[in-house]
Amino acid sequence: MEKNRLYEDSSKCCGCFACKDACPKDAITIRATEAGFLYPKIDTAKCVNCGLCIRICGYKKGNDGNKPEEVFAAASKSNAILSAAASGGIFSVMAREFVNNGGVVCGSAMFRTETGFIVRHSFADNENELKKLAGSKYVKSATDGVFREAEEILRSGKSLLFSGTPCQVAALKSFLRKDYDNLTTVDLICHGVPSLQLFNDYILFYEKKHSCTVMDLIFRDKSRGQGMNCRITEKSGEKTRVKVMDGRLSSYFGMFLKGSVYRENCYSCPYASEKRGADITLGDYWGIYQEHAGEVTKAGLDNRKGISCVLINTGKGADLWQRVSEDILCFHSKLEKVAAHNDRLSTPSSKPADREHVMKSYILNGYESVDEIYSKEIQIKKYRYILEFHMPKTVKRTLKRILSTQA
Ligand SMILES: Cc1cc2nc3c(=O)[nH]c(=O)nc-3n(C[C@H](O)[C@H](O)[C@H](O)COP(=O)(O)OP(=O)(O)OC[C@H]3O[C@@H](n4cnc5c(N)ncnc54)[C@H](O)[C@@H]3O)c2cc1C
């Protein structure tokens, strides 16, 4: 590879910026593509060609993870944790264990600012601060600067729980260049991330359409059970309104779920595999009733509140799992059972045929055109989504049962 070239093409960079954190001359800057995806760029005036940025790249090293040793279906015993979490709230249970024993937790947080939302990894050392880390944010979470701070914490002897996408965990480990006994890592089963710019453009579009300001957005609302509903807190004049909607009715969520708006490297992600680089892996336990019909209620779990799949990948992971066992409800499962409903444990998301068209259209004509494409695509289905969303759960379940016996 030629000197000063950080990555071969856009599919070979996950945008973690470990290279930026590692550079002793602060010679790496951030550049954004027109679609808002961030990439590192070398400032040749400052660069001394030491090559550390290239050697440090975790993404280049690929996936050297382990196959899980044990697999569980699990959820927090606390309803408060469950309602703020994307699935079973296992992340928050583990995070509490750390901060209540003098440790620090690093995970993704989302903030509203005057100019839009910021999604970036932040640190927390008490239960109150942990609240900002709860829940999935379906956007790229920025990590520049985070690896340096994590290293300082580890060097100070404090224990650190780092949680993120598999590429972010690989980036941290590669940045550190040595194992730390006081570091525990958690990664998510991940299907890909859109850019923060696209998300903020969606917010602007939404605000214009509904004449409001979006104060808050929760990607996974559970007031109607576990699923892909989002919750938007909007303000217009003096009035504040909380709106829950089926994610499939929003062009941002719809395009996210379909996979049309991910960062380029997500479509060839080396970490979408059973081999896991973190001590523990968390995901949604899709298909739990098919795999464990009798055990769910027996164990006191309830999928309307959220159930996670938990993969214990290392001894350190097993040790943490043991430490939080009193605060969770769980039972043993198998990797094959989880993977049967979660393709991201075997292959990266495939790139939909319309991905280039959607992104080009976004760049040329703005977010409105993305919304138009999506609206055309779902057409009549929109009414089905609305109907399903408003239908009482009992009716929905009965209908599903009837339809499955007809099939
Ligand atoms: C972009 C993305 C894609 C996902 N895709 C899948 C999938 O295909 N299949 C599946 O089973 N599960 C997927 N998940 C994981 C799932 O949504 C839950 O996060 C997971 O089950 C853990 O839930 P929890 O209830 O234990 O904790 P939660 O409280 O929901 O987890 C919170 C923690 O997750 C991490 N996190 C949240 N958002 C981000 C982000 N944008 N970037 C990095 N880290 C983040 C943070 O550290 C955060 O603090 C995905 C999550 C994200 C963020």
Residue 45, both tokens: 């005036």
For residue 1, what pLDDT is reported?
Answer: 44
pLDDT score of 383 more than 90: no
Helix-helix angle 315-323:90-99, to 10 degrees:
80
pLDDT score of 155 more than 70: yes
Question: Where are the domains positioned within the chain?
Answer: 1-400
Nearest protein CA to atom 21 of ligand 1, as residue? 283
For residue 391, what pLDDT is reported?
Answer: 74
Give me ligand 1 centre to Cα 254, in Å: 17
pLDDT score of 4 more than 70: no
Give me ligand 1 centre to Cα 2, in Å: 36
Using DSSP, state whether 216 is helix, strand or coil: strand
* CA 273 – CA 277 distance, rounded (Å): 10
pLDDT score of 362 more than 90: yes
Q: What is the pTM of this model?
A: 0.95
The residue written with tokens 């961030």 in the block is 38
pLDDT score of 303 more than 70: yes
* CA 75 – CA 372 distance, rounded (Å): 39
Q: Closest ligand 1 atom, CA of 306?
A: 25
* CA 31 – CA 318 distance, rounded (Å): 40
Ligand 1 in reach of 189 Cβ (< 6 A): yes
Ligand 1 in reach of 92 Cβ (< 6 A): yes
pLDDT score of 232 more than 70: yes
pLDDT above 70 coverage of the chain, percent: 97
Rounded to an integer, the average pLDDT of 101-120 is 97
pLDDT score of 88 more than 70: yes
Residue 43, both tokens: 């400032």
Q: Which carries the bigger pLDDT value, residue 359 or residue 393?
A: 359
For residue 312, what pLDDT is reported?
Answer: 98
For residue 131, what pLDDT is reported?
Answer: 96
Rounded to an integer, the average pLDDT of 261-284 is 98
Ligand 1 in reach of 96 Cβ (< 6 A): no
pLDDT score of 405 more than 70: no
For residue 317, what pLDDT is reported?
Answer: 98
pLDDT score of 398 more than 80: no
